[in-house]
């Protein structure tokens, strides 16, 4: 049987069928793949960003900054841990690991108003910056383990946050 290797990186276990990989550590797989969104093809990073976008926005809408910051820190910690655990199965920063996109999206929303229309520039800019990886984003990706998998997305989130703040200076805020 031929194992599809799209979305797999160097060092990944390409000899074990995906179903068996899930059986090895289903909890880690569920977290690392963003509740399975990283298994969608094509453009798994884009698919993985969508649920994170709505989750971060929903938590932000509570209006409790401490809850949002605690959630962002929790998602980041979960990303570092689960991505590090999933790497031997998928390879370093595999397209199937999308929990790092979740952490980056939370950074995108830090301190922004909770307006629904902000999801559009956050989504578009985050995906562009996550793929493009402007300096030092690509360099951060080379860090070992789950830290490297997550750090580049956190930096893309910082750049996205700053860019959306720039948009907000130019465009009057329309409250939802």
* DSSP per position, 73-129: HHHHHHHHHHHHHHHHHH-TT-TT--HHHHHHHHHHHTT----GGGHHHHHHHHHHH
Q: What pTM was estimated for this model as a whole?
A: 0.86
The 10s digit of each residue's pLDDT in 68-116 is 999 999 999 999 999 999 988 888 778 899 999 999 999 999 999 998 8
Spans of the chain, pLDDT less than 70:
1-18, 173-176
């Amino acid at each position: 049987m031929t194992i599809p290797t799209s979305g797999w990186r160097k060092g990944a276990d390409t000899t074990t069928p995906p179903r068996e990989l899930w059986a090895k550590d289903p909890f880690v797989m569920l977290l690392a793949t963003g509740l399975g969104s990283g298994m969608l093809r094509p453009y798994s990073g884009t698919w993985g960003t969508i649920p994170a976008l709505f989750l971060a926005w929903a938590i932000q809408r509570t209006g409790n900054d401490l809850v949002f910051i605690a959630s962002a820190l929790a998602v980041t910690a979960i990303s570092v841990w689960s991505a590090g655990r999933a790497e031997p199965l998928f390879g370093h920063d595999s397209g199937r690991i999308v929990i790092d996109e979740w952490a980056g999206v939370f950074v995108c929303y830090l301190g922004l108003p909770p307006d629904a229309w902000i999801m559009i520039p956050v989504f578009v800019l985050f995906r562009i910056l996550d793929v493009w990886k402007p300096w030092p984003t690509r360099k951060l990706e080379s860090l070992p383990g789950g830290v490297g998998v997550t750090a580049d997305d956190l930096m893309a989130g910082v750049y996205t946050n700053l860019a959306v703040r720039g948009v907000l200076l130019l465009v009057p805020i329309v409250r939802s």
